[in-house]
Amino acid sequence: MRTFYSFTVILGLSFFVFSFSKFESTNTTYTKTSNNTIVYHNDSDDVNEISNDFFKRYSDLKKYKSDVMSLYKNRTLGTIWFDENEISEFGSALYEKAKKTNDLVIPYQKEIDQLFSSSSDKSTLSQTDADMLLSSLYVVYAKKSNSDKKKLSYNDMLKDFLNYSTLEEQETTVAATNEKVEFDQYYKLQDALKKYKRLEKSSKYKPIVPAESPYKELRPDAVSSTIAQVRTRLYLLGDLKTDSKSDVYDRELMDAVMKYKVRNGFKPNYILAEEHINEMNIPLEDKVATLKLNMERCRAIAAQIAASDEYVLVNVPSYEMIYVKNGKVQLTSPVFVGAPLTKTTIFNGEIDRIVFSPYWTVPQSIVQNELKSKIAADPNYLAEKNMEMVNGQVRQKPGPDNSLGLVKFMFPNPDDIYMHDTPSKTLFDFEKRTFSHGCINVKMAKELAVAMLKDYPEWTKEKIDKAMEGKVESSFKLSKKVPIYITYFTSLVNENGEIGFFQDVYENDKQITETAVVAQ
């Protein structure tokens, strides 16, 4: 999500937040050391020496001077965004997220870009100037991401950056600030967190030890001590109402296994494979950490969700799209997303157009890496694939076999990501659905188009059917843009109140956890 803080940035900044003091009105001297970094001292008459020099040379930032310098008050650690003489990973994360935030104008972008350039055109800025430019970028980014607030409060902002270590701290902070998170998923996850913290204290929650090694898949009617352990586990998790202690894989356990699999995004069948046992054996402390992390993600997106009476939410880890209108889910559909090497970008946007029977202009990277050799080997390749060359670009004509299917949903963004139909419906049968070059493939794309066009009387079902015949491309511009949130929630609570934990497909959670450990 490009318009709210990446949790990587949040956790990274928390490393620095602990060295910030409350923003009191004290006098401060700013001096440079031999390696050109800044050291700060209290009780001086010359509080503005370095700041005046910086903001004189970077005059477009003068309006942010007070906010920028408040970050440095009472600091004794020198720069904020550098680790020794290199920009820290947190500075890099801030830069990447700021670049991909919609409509964010980066001040002195040329100078900031050079800080991260891998070419010979490296920046010659002093560390002081570089650090203050990044702090200015942080202020601009923070103001943009918190545009719903009348005034930016750094005390409140920094509280949001902290990964609270206990549920009690979290509840205390929310109560103390009278904060209400306008995204009910936050409170559903909070309830799940309470449950899992209770389970942590339960002596009944023990690792499942398979009866056989190597592990053999368990199917209905199997008899095994592993079955009895799974039964107890699903009882503790709430998928079973009672625990009979039976070691027979009976009808009762089949229903519980199906419930467990569906809520956790596994393929809906009765097979108990080793991966399912491994998931059940993930330590509860890890589950608790996952719930906390996703509560923070909810806090980050809450303001945007609350302001949207209609929106599309695509959650990458659960491979699912939901369409919400007037507070009610109108449609849920499976999706498949970008492969690890061509990840789907996590950001917010606005759907402004629906395109029926679309052409697909093949990206040059695909042409170079995948099609060029095939075209050279077979002169008829383009014709056989219903493709053509137009102005030096390869495009696929409309039709049922078009890679974009029969409809696509456009939302302008720098990564050229969009949602679309697909002729490859069998791919939705897979459990792990990371197949695309970054775009979002929707199984129920036609149903989504019908649902989104209900407020447009001219778009009857018959007109939509005709537009999706795959003969001629047609585009309809929505009079009211529909927000879309491409998210990365690895735990969510469904409408039935059931908690789901999903695969960390892009290892975002893993990176955050490792960053948090380093920060401690």
Using a CB cutoff of 8 Å and minimum separation of 24, what contacts does 430-434 make? 430/267, 430/336, 431/265, 431/266, 431/267, 432/503, 432/505, 433/319, 433/334, 433/335, 433/336, 433/337, 434/336, 434/337, 434/338, 434/339, 434/340, 434/505
Q: Tell me the two tokens of residue 380.
A: 């008829």
Identified catalytic residue from 276, 298, 420, 437? 420
**514 Cβ contact list (under 8 Å, min separation 6):** none
Q: What are phi and psi of 195, to 5 degrees?
A: -60, -45
419-420 vs 440-442, strand pairing mode: parallel
Whole-angstrom Cα distance, residue 68 to residue 62? 10
Do residues 128 and 32 touch, judged by C-beta distance below 8 A?
Answer: yes
320-325 vs 328-338, strand pairing mode: antiparallel
Go through 474-498 and write b for each residue having 16 or more CB atoms within 10 A of its CB, e for each that does not. Answer: eebebeeebbbbbbbbbbbbeeeeb
Burial of residue 93, with CB atoms counted within 10 A of its CB: 0-12 exposed, 13-18 middle, 19 or more buried: buried
Look up 420 and say whether it is catalytic: yes
Q: What are phi and psi of 325, to 5 degrees?
A: -145, 130
Burial of residue 331, with CB atoms counted within 10 A of its CB: 0-12 exposed, 13-18 middle, 19 or more buried: middle
Identified catalytic residue from 276, 298, 437, 439? 439
The one-letter amino acid at 429: D
Whole-angstrom Cα distance, residue 36 to residue 46? 19
Do residues 125 and 82 touch, judged by C-beta distance below 8 A?
Answer: no
Q: Tell me the two tokens of residue 373.
A: 């050799």
Look up 439 and say whether it is catalytic: yes
Catalytic positions, please?
420, 439
